[in-house]
Structure 1
């Protein structure tokens, strides 16, 4: 079975990687689909996020990194995938994710959304928290892969991005 794990991944965190690793063990192929939403302000470009994710998941042979614009269900149809995985950190995530799953199901009857509960050690972790910690000079080495930590420090400490 092929699944899509969609998100903005701005930046990818160890919580995201936990879900990716667990999916890679359960499914034949995992497509990590990065949302390219031009109306949303992101720290990293879609190209930068793609490269960071590729580096972070290179040890998984069955994980592909891709990006999409527009509706997720249109992307799923284009890729001929009928299952997506969404990570849940807390009950508050469930409410939003359930609404999205129901809308997606209404628009594309073949789509199924599987919810994967975050590992306890990452239940608090979000990309927004990571960016805030870095902006205030905090250590995020235990929250993101090394390649992401370096990229964050470069971006948020006045370094020039590629």
Structure 2
């Protein structure tokens, strides 16, 4: 069974993330969505809320793709998380050249830490490339419509967080 790890903060999970998850399911039998506990980023949603969002989306996607998808919170090194969940590949989504430069550096470090775990890059679909959780939160905070970027449940959760 080929297991992949798709890590991120998912604060919140967007349609860009969903696009990568759907295509990652074509590559693996089991996909672990690593929900990062990153205290430095100061997420809008709690870990429990982010995991619940990922789990809700995972259930829907697992049903449509036939791939086992699980949410897994983690706070350790990404390569250690990959080992913990038995992943042979790390899946990363790319939106722009700036993403690639950072991710390229991360791949080099991860390969030094564990040469047996590869990283696979998936480009976001053209109509999803501009979606970033940070921008979605900013639009929602300022009262803009985020329905083109997130599912209705996430839009409602954002509205609740910002009292809109």
Q: What residue in structure 2 maps to residue 69 of structure 1?
A: 75
Report runs of 4+ in structure 1 exceeding 2 Å deviation.
none
Q: Distance in 2 between matches of 1:44 and 1:25?
A: 29
For the residue of structure 1 that corresponds to 2:12, the secondary structure is coil
Q: Alignment RMSD, CA only?
A: 1.2
1:34-73 maps to which residues of 2 (within 5 A)?
Answer: 34-61=35-62, 62-73=68-79
Corresponding residue of 2:158: 152
After superposition, what is the alpha-carbon deviation per residue over 1:46-88, rounded to whole angstroms, capped at 9, x for unaligned? 1100001111221233211111012011111112212110000
Bigger mean CA offset, 22-31 vs 147-156: 22-31
- Does the 8 Å contact 1:56/1:147 carry over to 2? no
Number of positions where the alignment pairs a residue of Structure 1 with one of Structure 2: 158
> Is residue 4–residue 30 contact of structure 1 (8 Å, CA) maintained in 2?
yes
Gaps of 5+ in 1: none
Asked if 1:108 is matched to 2:114, the reply is yes
TM-score when scaled to structure 1?
Answer: 0.93
- Greater Cα shift, 122-131 or 33-42: 33-42
Unmatched 5+ residue regions in structure 2? 63-67
Provide the rounded CA distance (Å) in 1 between the counterparts of 2:119 and 2:20. 14
Residue 125 of structure 2: aligned partner: 119
* SS class of match (1:3): strand
Cα deviation digits, residues 3-42 of structure 1 (max 9, x gap)? 0000011111000000001111332111110001223311
Three-state SS of the structure 1 residue aligned to 2:60 is coil
